[in-house]
Homo-oligomer: A and B are copies of this chain.
Amino acid sequence: MINVEIISIGDELLIGQTINTNASWMGAQLALHGIKVSHVVTISDTREAITTALEEAQKRSQVVLITGGLGPTKDDITKHVLCEYFDTKLEMDEAVLNHVESFFTKRNRPMLEVNKMQAMVPEACEVLFNEQGTAPGMWFEKEDTIFVSMPGVPYEMKYLMGAHVIPRLTERFPVKKLVQKTYLTQGIGESFLAEKISDWEDQLRSEGLDLAYLPSPGMVKLRISSASGDQARVAHYGDALKAMIPLYLYGEAEETLSEVVGRLLQSKGETVGTVESCTGGGIMANLTSVSGSSAYVLGGLITYSNDLKIKLAHVSAETLEDMGAVSEETVLEMAAGGKRELGVDWCISVSGIAGPLGGSDEKPVGTVWIAIDGPDRTLCRKFLFGTDRLRTVQMTVLTALNLLRCEILGINIEKKQS
């Protein structure tokens, strides 16, 4: 296993003005080719920082991918520092110069002296031709370590990685591709999930596979990986996982809950609508984020005020008066009223106290009722989502969508889950 390191150069990264998406993209692309990045180091655009980073990288890594600091402006000194580090000097590369000239001619822009300078490359490097811009990539080798310097502009870096760097690296270091699959769960916290699947996880690890928990609000991704590329074992454990937690496991890879729910509805020829209070339209916005959702989404009612709950969703004034807007009775009437009014097969309704104000001892901030009125039966559940307003809304949206998924599939939902 080789050590691959990324050095990202630029103050804009350190002060958070730019997010280092280059490193993420490179890490993901290399992982797909079985090459794992072990270090990402972000540093300032100074001679000392760059030199030290090169020295440290050389000690521990066989491949060092450097981005940034190759633009035409004055604060870009990477190329000079590379010359020092590799004990070489800049020379004019005629092929690159022609390319830079034609680059400006094609765009009808005058070429400045600083642009011409971009064709000056260190003698000791091999030039990686950059079709997408004026700064070439540069490939160096020093004492068994490969150094590749690329511009930080994302589409130029991506071009150089795809056209030159990845093909050369995979040829030089033929590796068994890492196999990994990601499974998506909703409705169960990281530690509960870990407990529920601990035997399965132990067994998986005993066979040399690896498991990672990747939590985000309302969701936990589970990533199974096999460093030895054992596709069959990964799939085997994935299938076992699906069978074990159907209530929570809703999809794989990059799928969204709305895509999964949409596919289910479309295959059954059924439609969905919502009557939303505390989510303010968020469930419907999520459902309609899917291209083609007009095939099964008809519409919704956002009944933020009590008057509109009565007028639009036909909740009775007595129910609101006696039980309150955040109650089992109210969401049930909202779902039933919405189903009739919207003419849908499935109607989701939600009412809750998103906070931070409006809570009481009996109904604390974060209390949310969700009902789903379907073709055959109605489900209604209460949740407690905590005190952060936006988080509560997001949890409610995801939970409602997952409950709808379970109802469509006929998966029995436990009485208590939150």
Contacts and interface: CB of A to CB of B under 8 A. Distances in A.
8 contacts: A12-B212, A19-B24, A39-B41, A72-B194, A107-B386, A112-B195, A278-B288, A298-B305
Nearest to A154: B216
A297 interface: yes
Interface string A300-311: 111111011000
Given A44-B38, A109-B189, A304-B297, A280 B284 contact: yes
A278 B294 CA distance: 10
A249 interface: no
A13 B28 contact: no
Contact of A155 (B223, B288, B388): B388
A117 to B, nearest CB: 10
A281 interface: yes
A324 interface: no
A148 interface: no
Nearest to A27: B16
Counting chain A residues whose Cβ lies within 8 A of the other chain, the interface size class is 35 or more
Interface string A93-120: 0000000000000111100101100000
A38 B49 contact: yes
A288 B277 CA distance: 9
**Majority SS at the chain A contact face:** mixed
A23 interface: yes
Interface stretch (A29-37, A80-88, A315-323, A406-414): A29-37
A112 B191 contact: yes
A231 interface: no
B288 A17 contact: no
A77 to B, nearest CB: 13
Contact of A42 (B39, B192, B274): B39
Interface stretch (A166-174, A261-269, A389-397): A389-397
